[in-house]
Amino acid sequence: MHKILIIDDDPDVVTVLQILLKKNGYGVAAATREEEVNHQMDSFGPDLIILDVLLSGVDGREICRRIKNDNSWKHIPVIMFSAHPGAQKNMKDFGADDFLPKPFDSNKLLERVEMQLAKPRQPS
């Protein structure tokens, strides 16, 4: 079973994503604050991360950059999402593997998740 970590500070979004992903056979954990990210990365060991661009007090793109600069985590695909127009412009600069605008269609999200998980990646 693939494991997905959701990083978002909106409890409603987290709940909807957890229900959708669990219903489709994924193991799911969430980090709702920046302080929880490292712990969840180490203890849960996700195969994929879904990360909001705008979190309370922190830019999700910086969290993405930190993940992609860490040798033990950089192979994990990150799908970022945002309702902010233009947020997609520089996602690759921060290491994001994919981007979805909010609100997103659940089928489109599942397609992107499956596509990212199917790509061969090597842990360092």
Sorting pLDDT into bands at 50, 70 and 90, what band is 50? very high
* The predicted structure's pLDDT at residue 104: 85
pLDDT digits 0-9 by tens, 13-41:
999 999 999 999 999 999 999 999 999 99
By residue range, what is the domain housing residue 46? 3-117
Q: Domain of 52: which CATH number? A: 3.40.50.2300
Spatial separation of the C-alpha atoms in residues 102 and 92, rounded to whole Å:
18
pLDDT digits 0-9 by tens, 80-114:
998 876 777 777 788 999 999 888 899 999 999 99
- Domain for residue 81, yes or no? yes
- Domain for residue 33, yes or no? yes
- Domain for residue 47, yes or no? yes
- Domain for residue 67, yes or no? yes
- Domain for residue 123, yes or no? no
* The predicted structure's pLDDT at residue 124: 55
Q: How many CA atoms lie within 13 A of 88 on its CB side?
A: 9
> 91 vs 6, 53, 86, 95, CA distance in Å?
17, 9, 10, 7
Number of domains in the chain: 1
| Spatial contact of 97 and 79, defined as CB atoms under 8 Å apart | yes
